[in-house]
């Protein structure tokens, strides 16, 4: 398995991973819209860094890192191929993102937002030492109240 910079030729594989608008919102927040298309993904990468995990010529994980404050990045749009979920790929993806942030970008802090009900993601971030520093309420696409936990990790 290797971690590489994103490239549009790989992104088409990712388009089918979210099954519906709610899954897309869990992955991307409110800024990408259903149905997901390559233009939205490429545009969302502008001004940041997108990383991919590749295994045997297949995209199995994806995330973005966006500069947000002095010596900080925001980890966002973390997603694992549906066939590889529950196999530790998310942990490997986050580990690569942390290492890339520290070693290549020289940042001192990583922040992120995770929906409170997305327990698998929340637990994964806690495993790496991310701590909640604030909560925000937002509306889901169906008008439900969702809570976003803003988390951070100092490197």
CATH number at 69 reads 3.40.630.30
Does any domain span residue 126? no
Residue 116 lies inside a defined structural domain of this protein:
no
The reply to whether 77 falls in a domain is yes
Report the sign of the C-alpha dihedral through residues 57, 63, 65, 66, in that order. Answer: positive
**136 domain residue, yes or no:** no
pLDDT tens profile 129-139: 999 999 999 98
Residue 80, domain member (yes or no): yes
Please list the helix, strand and coil fractions of the chain in percent, rounded to the nearest 5, in that order.
Answer: 35, 35, 30
In a domain, 153, yes or no: no
Per-residue pLDDT at 135: 98
Are 135 and 148 in contact by the 8 Å Cβ rule? The answer is yes
Per-residue tokens: 145: 């109240």
- Please give the C-alpha separations between residue 137 and each of 52, 62, 68, 113, 147, in angstroms, as whole numbers: 30, 26, 21, 12, 5
Residue 131, pLDDT score:
98
- The answer to whether the CB of 62 falls within 8 A of the CB of 79 is yes
pTM score, two decimals? 0.95
Q: Report the domain count for the chain.
A: 1
The one-character DSSP state at 88 is T
CA distance 13 to 16: 7
The whole domain housing 71 covers 2-110
- Which stretches of the chain score pLDDT less than 50? none
The verdict on residue 59 lying in a domain is yes
């Amino acid at each position: 398995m290797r971690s590489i910079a994103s490239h549009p030729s790989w992104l088409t594989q990712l388009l089918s991973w979210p099954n519906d608008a709610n899954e897309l919102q869990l992955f991307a927040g409110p800024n990408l819209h259903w149905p997901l298309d390559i233009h939205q993904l490429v545009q969302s990468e502008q001004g940041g860094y997108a990383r991919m995990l590749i295994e045997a010529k297949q995209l199995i994980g994806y995330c973005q890192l966006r500069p947000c404050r002095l010596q900080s990045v925001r980890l966002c749009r973390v997603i694992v191929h549906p066939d590889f979920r529950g196999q530790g790929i998310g942990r490997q993806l986050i580990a690569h993102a942390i290492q890339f942030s520290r070693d290549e970008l020289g940042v001192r802090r990583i922040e992120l937002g995770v929906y409170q009900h997305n327990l698998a993601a929340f637990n994964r971030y806690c495993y790496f030492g991310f701590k909640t520093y604030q909560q925000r309420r937002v509306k889901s696409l169906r008008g439900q109240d969702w809570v976003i936990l803003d988390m951070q990790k100092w490197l």
